[in-house]
Structure 1
């Protein structure tokens, strides 16, 4: 297959593709249907010309395909006439009767010419061997050619009127469409004029028309990308950029091949050596060019300027911005990624982020790209920053102004054309971006400044969020520390209470041998609890898991409660059935101590505390009842188990919160029944055979 064959086939295929693309989406109006039919006509004409030029040998075959090509050329002007008429009236839903009358007359004339040319002899073909070269046009054929020539002139005039009447935005949208279609029609006009003058049609005419059609289809596709026909032909900027790179490599390989051919044809001595050196040097130069960030940026800017409505792919930039910054929660992680994203996007080589320090109310350089981080902090009352607080858009700087408030080594880098982007959050200037000039020396446009302003708003939100996250993490650390110290102090308080009761009773019962034995046990257990407390404070947090072991629940409750209830005014009632369970004895003892201590403290004068243990429905139950002051239903519901809330003077409000946590860690629950003035009952239910969270 020759290059000529490929041109015919590509012209036909590209025309069909553009036609199909035009009617791919709804609504399929007259503009798109006429465009699709016109492109189909071009494809049909290219296909018949391909068969005529490459596949015919006999005169009859050549005559048939000559007529087919002529008829296709005549008929395709009808849909193109409708298209041009519709293009000239973009807001109208339908064409006027006057326009339809003119189009109808033209269609009737071309249809009649096509019918006559198909019926009568329009060409005279010589009998010669080889591919089709030329044919003589007879009178009938000349009439058909003249009709086609007049229709082509009318289409050109209509396109010229459309382009003149279009306003700036509309002209920008249809420019490449009019240039592409107009170019095809101009070439057709030239060759139709040649045929009308010399009465000869040639194969070279058809090949040239197919070539121009293929090139014009590229321009038409560029217009379709601008959405003139309502067709979303979305070509990725990155794909287009890579296509340019591939094209450059192709041109390079072609140049290398041409160089080899020239060296061989000119008979230069040592052509292999010279060719190798030239190829190596040129390859290095090409690689350096393709790897150059400046060249890369120039190409991308050229593509954005000539093939897209806007310079930036806003959807892609937003996705990239979110992807790079969305998961960063600290300022140290966020600032470098933020500045790198902005610098890469706007095409500069230097940038600095200044953020406000609330302690000294000055702006400090947080991160810098392309330059060492500035060390001098900027005062908020400087004129440039004062104007930035009220500015609605980024400020383009002049070098004279920059030198007045930046340290000299930084000011030398940020020359004319640098931009100051405010990072404003809720009318407060949290910082600013100092962006250097564009790497190619071109001034930033309005679109660039608007893009920077949008990025500045998003960046300010991300920075404030990162700072809040850091503050929240710090607050949580303090909260965890406060909670830990609260638990420690509460445990110490319970131990001190037990020792205080012991010392109070010792003055009256010091000579009682049984009291002496109980006192020694109480002191020993208190010392053991203090040792366990110190051990847990000095160990890793992971070691705070429950230590599950077999426990006699009745004995555990009695041992924990006895030191606390040793008071003459308080009677202790015991109904302790033996219930063996698996639990952390030390932790569960804390729960009993907290509940019994609360029961004792709720009794102002004399009263009783009742302790019961029993099994019920597969649960081990501990019941602690007092005859104290009781609690209101609202307090039980809202505040009883809340941390750091206490009705006792000097209380920490930690005991019941800690007790519930321990019970729930065992897989159990605490229930409360209370009535003001009548007392309270705390019921702890633990599963038998409990393994807890170890």
Structure 2
């Protein structure tokens, strides 16, 4: 049996040694090469050690047991690497392990702890007393088979041809171990024939794994460990080693400290824990660890997905001003603790607009200075330390005196916008040494451009808000000027007719009423300039009174407007002053467009739940194109002194009240404006009969 076992395990050792050598030579550079070559060489070492000990007829040593654990761990890691492509879109983990696999891993971890605590020496045909250790090995076999099943099932169909032989080979090794340890668990001892044949069984898996290795060029996924996981893992691992070392030192202090031993141990351990907490919460240490991990474990210095998400989140979040957030977002890319921002103003001067963890900066830089011209022409990120060491690299750059005297200034990052220098950021020296290679510099340039777009958008939003405030004021002023123009025009027409009708008592009375009304209206306009827009609140109004007042004010003009009330007692919800101004404007336009021998008629009627004011004239009329394209367009007028906003304001206010303004006009025959307004309370009055009729229908049934 000893010679059979020696041959069996020697065969396995030679097979996996050759397979590992192929990876290290012919297949070097293939995907997953490191994990697979390590697993093959560990398996060869384990089989060779077992073969050597079997040839000498001795029990398996702790070393052989440990190498077997490493061999199983290596093949399990290979399977986890191959499983790395199965990503969970809703998870931030680089891969997702199914729940059965996680459960098996948890169970195995518990049993592995028992195995490590009590090494299991496996003799030939000896009773097994350590049940937890035996079950731990059995659990590892189950875990390995679960991993094999998950790897094969989660691979796309077109990729399974390349992975299936590796799954058969690795799964065969775990399946044989499961069979051997299950038999041992059942009969309380390892069967010698099964144990001896284990080496041959492992050797038979070599060709299968070799075929898959030859096809490994199509294995298109690897296990991706994020920088965040690596950072926290490194911090946790380092903390564990530190605490272990400090615990050992504390033990020796207590052992050799005599009567002061306990005091020295407690004091030392407390100081060690406090020192660890200070290191872990130190920004400098964290920066150093991030730079160290990026430099030694990854091809690129940044995880661009994480960095860009953090960058945009910093710029978009609520809190301090956008300028401070822009400095922070750029500074965190190179572990800088602070900086200041300069932005170009309309005066052509770059002013200090924001600062982050630095003193206030009052120095301004003119856009025509050599410093700004250099930044705008080169788009370079300036390393002030490199500039001090080798000025020839920045030929033509002249640093301002205030910047040259700044002790901690490190980088100047230009912020470009449409090819022009929008601003620049001066960053302080990083917490840990950062190598400014092309990758870091390009990232800073892009970050500066992105931050400039955010700042420019904020400036545009602020300018738009100010413009809207001025627009609101100007619009109100325009309407006030328009009303004044109407009053001036009305008084001018009345003055022109005064010479003809000055001896007419009725005309004199109309003239006095018109002058008094004009004075009152100008007083109201002055009051309105000092009130907010919310002062105008619609109230129920009698339409007939408003129309009569608007017509009466035009009584001194020719042709005199004629009012016809077809439906008295109508009420609408509106502001009296604005509605009267709208109707008065339409009436005055009709009078101005009609010759003196013509007629202007105002008719008040009711059309369903709406009040209708029709203003008809027999003037020149308008074409359809003019009505459609120019009548309601603001600031366009056919009058020499017109403002072009009367018809626009009339339609806007009528629509604001829920009504509409309709126009029908025929050139040479006149124009009709129909002001249609919803009656106040009409919807309630008309809803009741409908409800009654519905109840009658129900009763009739």
| Alignment partner, residue 405 of structure 1 | 399
- TM-score, normalised to structure 2, is 0.70
| Alignment partner, residue 263 of structure 2 | 273
Cα pair 1:565 1:572 within 8 Å, conserved: yes
After TM superposition, list the pairs within 5 Å mapping 1:420-435 onto structure 2. Answer: 420-435=412-427
For the aligned residues, what is the CA RMSD?
Answer: 3.3
Q: 2:460 aligns with which of 460, 468, 471?
A: 468
Q: 2:629 aligns with which of 620, 623, 638?
A: 638
- 1:680 partnered with 2:676: no
| Alignment partner, residue 154 of structure 1 | 18
- 1:574 partnered with 2:438: no
| Alignment partner, residue 391 of structure 1 | 378
- 1:139 partnered with 2:3: yes
Q: 1:671 aligns with which of 659, 662, 680?
A: 662
| Alignment partner, residue 184 of structure 1 | 42
**Offset of residue 572 of structure 1:** 2.7
**Offset of residue 370 of structure 1:** 4.2
- 1:323 partnered with 2:310: no
**Of 609-618 and 253-262, the range deviating more from structure 2:** 253-262
| Alignment partner, residue 214 of structure 2 | none
After TM superposition, list the pairs within 5 Å mapping 1:253-272 onto structure 2. Answer: 253-255=243-245, 257-266=247-256, 268-272=258-262
- 1:599 partnered with 2:615: no
**Of 375-384 and 532-541, the range deviating more from structure 2:** 375-384
Cα pair 1:350 1:436 within 8 Å, conserved: yes
**Offset of residue 594 of structure 1:** 1.0
Would the alpha carbon gap of residues 494 and 226 (structure 1) be closer, same or farther in structure 2, given more than 3 Å must change? Answer: same
**Offset of residue 341 of structure 1:** 0.7
- 1:585 partnered with 2:576: yes
| Alignment partner, residue 346 of structure 1 | 334
Alignment gaps of 5+ in structure 2: 86-216, 684-701
| Alignment partner, residue 497 of structure 1 | 489
Cα pair 2:254 2:264 within 8 Å, conserved: no
- 1:198 partnered with 2:190: no
- TM-score, normalised to structure 1, is 0.70
- 1:653 partnered with 2:647: no
- For 1:139 and 1:517, the matched residues in 2 are separated by 139
**Offset of residue 204 of structure 1:** 1.7
Would the alpha carbon gap of residues 186 and 413 (structure 1) be closer, same or farther in structure 2, given more than 3 Å must change? Answer: farther
Would the alpha carbon gap of residues 650 and 177 (structure 1) be closer, same or farther in structure 2, given more than 3 Å must change? Answer: farther
**Of 268-277 and 233-242, the range deviating more from structure 2:** 233-242
**Of 237-246 and 583-592, the range deviating more from structure 2:** 237-246
Cα pair 2:46 2:71 within 8 Å, conserved: no
Give a deviation string over 1:547-592, Cα, whole Å, max 9, x none.
x1231x2332122023225234x14333222241133322211111
Would the alpha carbon gap of residues 265 and 358 (structure 1) be closer, same or farther in structure 2, given more than 3 Å must change? Answer: same
**Offset of residue 622 of structure 1:** 0.4
Cα pair 2:658 2:677 within 8 Å, conserved: yes
Would the alpha carbon gap of residues 535 and 322 (structure 1) be closer, same or farther in structure 2, given more than 3 Å must change? Answer: same
Alignment gaps of 5+ in structure 1: 1-121, 123-137
- For 1:562 and 1:266, the matched residues in 2 are separated by 115
Would the alpha carbon gap of residues 224 and 293 (structure 1) be closer, same or farther in structure 2, given more than 3 Å must change? Answer: farther
Give a deviation string over 1:326-347, Cα, whole Å, max 9, x none.
478x9x9322111111111221
**Offset of residue 263 of structure 1:** 4.1
Give a deviation string over 1:32-91, Cα, whole Å, max 9, x none.
xxxxxxxxxxxxxxxxxxxxxxxxxxxxxxxxxxxxxxxxxxxxxxxxxxxxxxxxxxxx
- For 2:351 and 2:537, the matched residues in 1 are separated by 46
Aligned length: 542
- For 1:605 and 1:433, the matched residues in 2 are separated by 73
Cα pair 1:641 1:656 within 8 Å, conserved: yes
Give a deviation string over 1:188-235, Cα, whole Å, max 9, x none.
265246336534351524431244347647976997799894336444
Cα pair 1:536 1:544 within 8 Å, conserved: no
| Alignment partner, residue 529 of structure 1 | 521
Q: Secondary structure at the match of 1:680?
A: strand
| Alignment partner, residue 440 of structure 2 | 448
Cα pair 1:619 1:687 within 8 Å, conserved: yes
Would the alpha carbon gap of residues 317 and 543 (structure 1) be closer, same or farther in structure 2, given more than 3 Å must change? Answer: farther
| Alignment partner, residue 531 of structure 2 | 539
